[in-house]
């Protein structure tokens, strides 16, 4: 059975919409740690709705476990909604920064070509070093590390994953439905609703 479970495991992207509240990160993290589940990637950022934050959490698990975890997270008082998706159901990106000696870049044209081939962009150019950034899936950003290693890569950092769910039924409509059924008594909380057309103008 455990063998079957390991076969069924895959990367899941958990998306949680939450209030912006001190201590909530801990409350959510505990849900994973009490089951001894490792978080592969975690990103927290403000969402398109004022006062609401968005967690992107990546774990390697079976769907059964992820489904239960998602409900446990959604049960927390300050969590509005939780979704979970496989990699196929989301558009995801990670960002990476690479610091390399400027003299090498300047001297060796090949490095410049490699950077261009990998879609990297210079962020800062200083006398002693240059910082490039690239975004993409893990294997893409990993690839550039390998390429730059022989040219004196000084430092590398990669961000957590951010992911957008492909399905078109977004959270905004859900939240509007929540508010329609049980309107908030605090007008401040409804502010974004009054400007919801602007929120999604593209």
Partner 1 sequence: MTGAVATLQALLAEGVDTIFGYPGGAIIPIYDALYDFKEQLNHVLVRHEQGGIHAAQGYARSSGKVGVVFATSGPGATNLVTGLADALIDSTPLVCITGQVFAHLLGTDAFQETDIINITTPITKWNYQVTNAEEIPEALAKAFYIARSGRPGPVLIDITKNAQQQKHDFAPYVPCTHIRSYRPVPIVRPEYIREAAAIINQAKRPFVLWGQGVILGKAEQEFKAFIEKSGIPAAWTILGAGALPTDHPLNVGMLGMHGNYGPNVLTNECDVLIAIGMRFDDRVTGRLDKYAKQAKVIHLDIDPTEIDKNVATTVPVWGDCKETLPLLTALVDAKLHPEWHERFRVHMEQEVDAVIREELFPTSEEMTMGEVIQQLNELTEGEAVIVTDVGQHQMVACRYAKLNKTRSNITSGGLGTMGFALPAAIGAKFGTPHRPVVAIIGDGGVQMTIQELGTIMQTGVDVKIIILNNRFLGMVRQWQELFNDRRYSFVDIASPDYVTVASGYGISGKRVEARAELKQSLQQMLEHPGSFLLEVMVSKENNIFPMVPQGCSVAEIRLR
The residue from 86, 149, 184, 195 that contacts partner 1 (CB under 8 A) is 184
Smallest gap from residue 118 Cβ to partner 1 (A): 41
Q: How far is the CB of 167 from partner 1 (least distance, A)?
A: 21
- Count of other CB atoms within 10 angstroms of residue 26: 9
- Considering the complex, what minimum distance in angstroms separates the CB of residue 182 from partner 1? 6
Residue 144's Cβ-count burial label (10 Å; 0-12, 13-18, 19+) is buried
Q: Which of 75, 108, 116, 137 touches partner 1 (CB under 8 A)?
A: 75
Q: What is the DSSP letter of 159?
A: P
30 near partner 1, rule: CB under 8 A: yes
**In sequence order, which residues have a C-beta less than 8 Å from that of residue 95 and are 6 or more positions away?**
133, 134, 135, 141, 158, 159
8 A C-beta contact, residue 20 and residue 45: no
Binding site for partner 1 (CB under 8 A): 18-19, 22-23, 26-27, 30, 34, 67-68, 71-72, 74-75, 77-80, 178-179, 181-186, 189
């Amino acid at each position: 059975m455990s063998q079957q479970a390991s076969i069924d495991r895959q990367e899941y992207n958990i998306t949680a919409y939450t209030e912006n509240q001190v201590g909530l990160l801990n409350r959510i993290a505990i849900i994973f740690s009490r089951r001894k589940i490792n978080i592969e990637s975690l990103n927290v950022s403000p969402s398109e709705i004022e006062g609401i934050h968005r967690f992107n959490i990546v774990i390697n698990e079976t769907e059964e476990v992820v489904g239960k975890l998602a409900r446990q997270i959604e049960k927390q008082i300050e969590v509005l909604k939780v979704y979970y998706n496989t990699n196929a159901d989301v558009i995801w990106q990670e960002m990476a920064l690479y610091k390399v000696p400027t003299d090498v870049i300047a001297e060796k044209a090949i490095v410049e070509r490699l950077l261009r081939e990998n879609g990297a962009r210079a962020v800062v150019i200083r006398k002693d070093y240059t910082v490039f950034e690239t975004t993409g899936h893990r294997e893409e950003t990993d690839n550039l590390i390998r390429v730059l290693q022989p040219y004196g890569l000084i430092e590398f950092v990669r961000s957590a994953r951010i992911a957008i769910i492909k399905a078109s039924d977004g959270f905004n409509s859900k939240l509007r439905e929540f508010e329609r059924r049980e309107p908030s008594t605090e007008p401040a909380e409804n502010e974004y609703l009054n400007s919801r057309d602007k929120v999604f103008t593209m």
